[in-house]
Amino acid sequence: MTEVVRLAAELGVDAVYANRDPDPFGREVEKRMAAALERDGRKLLLFKDLAMHERDEVMTGAGTSFRVFTPYSRAWQ
């Protein structure tokens, strides 16, 4: 992470573009990197990549996450 921030400064870029990481560890790294870049006057811009659907794109009718796979897969399709 620190190398990305250092390289962004060295290159004088305004933003770092990356693919969003769906797992909790990756999201935590993204938060820290965004904060470090922001302190340096830069932005971290994240985009969809690994997942077919983001965690908040396929929800139940009540707007919550599915707990059972079959209804999720029907909604997903």
Is residue 61 within 8 Å of 35, Cβ to Cβ?
A: no
Q: What angle do CA 20, 58, 72 make, to 5 degrees?
A: 120
Question: What length does the chain have?
Answer: 77
Return d(Cα 58, Cα 8) in angstroms, integer: 35
pLDDT tens over the chain, length 77 residues: 789 999 999 999 999 999 988 788 988 999 999 999 999 999 999 998 877 777 778 888 898 888 888 888 888 77
Is residue 16 within 8 Å of 35, Cβ to Cβ?
A: no
Residues 6 or more apart in contact with residue 61 via CB below 8 angstroms: none
**Which residue carries 């470090």 as its tokens?**
36
